[in-house]
Structure 1
Amino acid sequence: WGDNRAKKDATMKRPYLSVVIPAYNEVKSLQKGVLNEVFDYLSEQKFTWEVLLVDDGSTDSTLRLLKNFAAKHQEFRVLAEPHRGKGGTVIAGVLKARGELVLFADMDQATPISEVEKFLPKFNEGYDIVIASRAGREGAPLVRKLMAYGFAVLRTLVLRLPYRDTQCGFKAFRKEAAQKIFKRMKIFTPIKSGFNEKHVSKGAGVTAGFDLEILYIARKLKLKVAEVKVDWHHKESERINPLRDSWEGLRDLIRVRVNALLGRYRL
């Protein structure tokens, strides 16, 4: 009985790092063994960790595959969420993460989990948030690179965010910093998060607004943000639509600016 209690106490201790991975119809990525890559890397680290696999109401067998994997790997947890898009799914995972630091990363491992090694020293230097910058965007089609450049120019003019890359899906926070930011978000808001039961998440897609709003609020709160170059490889996705993504990015940029002008991001 004593051994079982000690084991339970050990598993309940707060891990150093929580990794949140959103999932929506990710059977192809899962069949490639991406979660094994995550497990193999983290298992070699000296710090304690957990992984939260957050299913965004997948319509294929993603949830079943996630549960099967987690059943064999005790450090992995599965959260089954209603479909509301990547933003709401990431928020749900981050708010339920137990780690001192929380990283969210894409399932396809376009930015390999091992790149977190470049992030951790920044937290030791006193930073609250560390974001990835995709130097060169290796393998990305020319049209995507041109779109990214144009969006970066607009972003700088409209929101004055001093970062080269706001949209990479590989960002880490001190847990306390994430909580401060998420409870102030307006485009994407926590659902039943403990902050406000009346909040309703808006937007079912992967749009620019999620990352923009995070970084704009972080800047308003005077949180220290470090930007780190990472290895990143373009992954083909049927979900990418250049025209739609450009329109939604511009729309979200305007929404964040309007919210700011109306004083909706209270400190």
Structure 2
Amino acid sequence: MSVSQRMPAIFFGHGSPMNALENNRYTQAWEQLGQRFPTPKAILMISAHWMTHGVAVTAMAEPKTIHDFGGFPQALFDMQYPAPGDPALAARIAELLSPELVIQDQQWGLDHGTWSVLVKAYPAANIPVVQLSLNMDQPEAWHFSLGQKLALLREEGVMIAASGNVVHNLRRLAFHAPAYDWATRFNDNIRQAIVSRDWNKVINFTRMGSDATLSVPTTEHFLPLLYVLGCHTAQDQLEIVVDGIELGAISMMSVVVA
């Protein structure tokens, strides 16, 4: 496969599930990403919303659309993203991550961390999608290393995508208010570390003290970013395609490695 056919790795700052219904600068950026690159053979998605002990991958032919949220309009619950699965890709992922045990899951599906962004990037839902779970028993560096192992998929026509938020503190949401100073500082520091390829700074984000504690009170929305950064190669460019902090404490930064 030529360099021109190498698929990108993309981190989507997904924010509220309502982005699936809305049209704003974030969703427009996601739409443009779907048009910018050659159509992938399949998409491997790492979502903040599938947390497990151990590693699992969706291995069914027809993954269901999961509405894993509450308190939103009926229109959001009515949305379906009927992308096919790819059992062969699920098996390939297990091969690449060996000797790590990768459960071939038949129960999960596509959660809103996946479909709320893909419905904008690939609205036809005709590209096979496989989800990889987040092993919450492992440290940050381990998740980065899995990204490194999965990077070969990019040469095989598979887009590696991840969905979460660099800053995600639901307890501190502030409607119609500016971003908290700590959220802005943390977001800016992570952004600068990404641009300068300072992976150690990103992996060891807890060293940023109280800014990190407030911005990442739990790690599940931050960890997906590490997979995408782990996928980079020396010839890749890193680009922040859209950024911003919503509701005071949700970073919408999206990152492309291509």
TM-score, with structure 1 as normaliser:
0.26
Q: Higher helix fraction: Structure 1 or Structure 2? A: 1
* CA radius of gyration, larger in: 1
Question: Which one has more relative contact order, counting CA pairs under 8 Å at least 6 apart?
Answer: 2
